[in-house]
């Protein structure tokens, strides 16, 4: 899979303007991983649906909106939905670099193909 362009995040611009804090190399790696995960899953028929911070889930319209929320948290559950309204979540733990995808849920037997889609994604392809 070829790497996609990582969207410029408003959150990152705000952090640099207000605090002089630039995105670290590990942060850039994690942004690349998430942008490419979203593109990979969309190619497999899964659209971003929500970001959950363990208190509440926020519905999102696209990958950039999801990333704005994700990169303002320490960890998040990124939920995907397919055309049949099946949903599955991917746990992201920020600060873990290449190991930031810590877990994902799927149905036994993988009837909707989510597990197969996730297993086909390799974070090391974007390091």
- Domain enclosing residue 93, as ranges: 10-126
Determine the average pLDDT of the residues in 30-50: 97
Tell me whether residue 2 is in a domain: no
What is the crossing angle of helices 25-43 and 63-70, to 10°?
140
pLDDT exceeds cutoff 90 at 88: yes
Tell me whether residue 31 is in a domain: yes
* Torsion 54-46-5-37 (CA) sign: positive
Tell me whether residue 3 is in a domain: no
pLDDT (0 to 100) of residue 1:
67
Domain count, the chain: 1
Q: How far is CA 31 from CA 54, 81, 103, 110, in A?
A: 20, 21, 17, 28
Tell me whether residue 4 is in a domain: no
Tell me whether residue 83 is in a domain: yes
pLDDT exceeds cutoff 90 at 127: no
Determine the average pLDDT of the residues in 82-101: 97
Tell me whether residue 113 is in a domain: yes
pLDDT (0 to 100) of residue 19:
94
pLDDT (0 to 100) of residue 117:
97
Q: Which residues pair with 89 in a beta bridge?
A: 79
pLDDT exceeds cutoff 80 at 2: no
């Amino acid at each position: 899979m070829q790497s996609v362009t990582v969207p410029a995040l408003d959150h990152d611009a705000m952090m640099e303007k207000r605090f002089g804090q630039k995105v670290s190399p590990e942060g850039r790696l994690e942004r690349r991983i998430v942008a490419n995960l979203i593109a990979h899953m969309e190619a497999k028929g899964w659209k971003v649906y929500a970001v959950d911070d363990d208190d509440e889930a926020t519905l999102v319209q696209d990958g950039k909106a999801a990333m704005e929320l994700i990169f303002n948290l320490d960890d998040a559950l990124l939920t995907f939905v397919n055309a049949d309204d099946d949903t599955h979540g991917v746990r992201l733990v920020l600060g873990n670099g290449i190991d930031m995808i810590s877990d994902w849920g799927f149905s036994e037997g993988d009837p909707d193909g989510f597990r197969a889609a996730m297993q086909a994604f390799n974070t090391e392809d974007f390091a």
